[in-house]
A = this chain, B = another copy of it.
Amino acid sequence: MSNAKIRNMEQFAAVSGISRPTVSKYFHDPESVRASTRARIEEALEQYDYRPNIFAMNQNRKLTKNVGIVVPYLADPFFAEIARYLEQRCIAAGYRPSLFSSHGEQKLEMEILDSLRSLKPAGVLLAPLGRASDRSEVEKFCRDVPTVLFDSNLEGIGAAFVGSDNFSFVSQTVEYLTRTGAPPAFFEMKTPANPNANKRRIAYVSMMERLGFEPHVISIDGEGWAFEEIGRQGAAKVLQDGALPTDAVLCSNDRLAIGFLSAAYELGIRVGRTEACRLRVASNDDHPFARFTCPSLTTAAHDYDNVAGRSVETLFDLIESGGKFGTRTETLFPARLVLRDSA
């Protein structure tokens, strides 16, 4: 490593013995230059630590290497994990991801999309808030910026959607619960933040009917993204009122289930699949903490790897296609049932 300071591409081009426009081309795409010149540039790159000024680069580039990643609520470890996968894959593909969280607020989601515009990103991976999203504003954004939605679908918006197959989640948990005991009631928020919740309720009802059982949907009050607390309070009420029609409960998602189990514990109601237990509780998502609830949570797991992988693949395809697809595709990955102690 030479100690001569390289201040710009001009100087770096000089020491590498290659012309500046070619060096510029190299940084845009190393494969776009002949192998021998690439070698010479990379040799110089090892001797002098030069890196192009990203601001100057992005100023005139038609297409930047920026990618936006937007999740609705980063304090949910599920999204933190997904974000990690996505980041990783973007970096591996030579992109610069920027991570944003809407923190459950419409205003913030709008501000993020707004500031994302000025980043001139090549593409955006967006998990929208869902019900709280300003549909028409998100739609506008997607018209201007190549965007792949993930996790949470807004019908018709974005170039593509990649997520999990809610029917697969619910059908597996319902099937398992009915096969090994009583058919479950469905525990959910009355006004869920996320559109997946509605799909799950519908899947539950249809699955129960298909199996010849009466569906029981328990919709609890609560607004916002503090699902655990909402679940805890809702469950406490339901359990105290004796309003549970069955001894099996399927929660719409793991965070509600965490609250449910917490309430059950506080009321001294044993949950589990052993004889001594009054109640069985299962759920959906395989939240990072689902292993550590008491009892550990039986749940249907997202296919993190495939959802994240396909999301970025789709985005890269989209970018290479010039930002537009002929038709909007929706890709859904099935769940994997994870049996633990709660049901």
Contact = CB atoms under 8 A, between A and B. Distances in A.
Of A83, A259, A294, A296, the most chain B CB neighbours within 10 A belong to A294
Interface in A248-266: 258-259, 261-262, 265-266
A260 to B, nearest CB: 10
Interface in A230-262: 232, 258-259, 261-262
Given A294-B265, A294-B293, A288 B55 contact: no
A180 interface: no
Interface in A72-88: 74-77, 80-81, 83-84
A212 to B, nearest CB: 35
Give the size range of A's interface with the partner: 35 or more
In the complex, the count of this chain's copies comes to 2
Interface stretch (A28-36, A97-105, A148-156): A97-105
A265 B297 CA distance: 13
A96 interface: yes
A172 interface: no
A213 interface: no
A265 B295 contact: yes
Contacts of A75: 77, 80-81, 84, 288
A289 B258 contact: yes
Given A77-B75, A229-B291, A289-B228, A55 B51 contact: no
Interface string A283-295: 0000011011111
A132 interface: no
Interface of A: 51, 53-56, 58-59, 74-77, 80-81, 83-84, 96, 98-101, 103, 115, 118-120, 228-229, 232, 258-259, 261-262, 265-266, 288-289, 291-296, 341
10 contacts: A55-B58, A55-B59, A59-B59, A76-B80, A84-B101, A84-B103, A96-B115, A258-B289, A262-B292, A265-B295
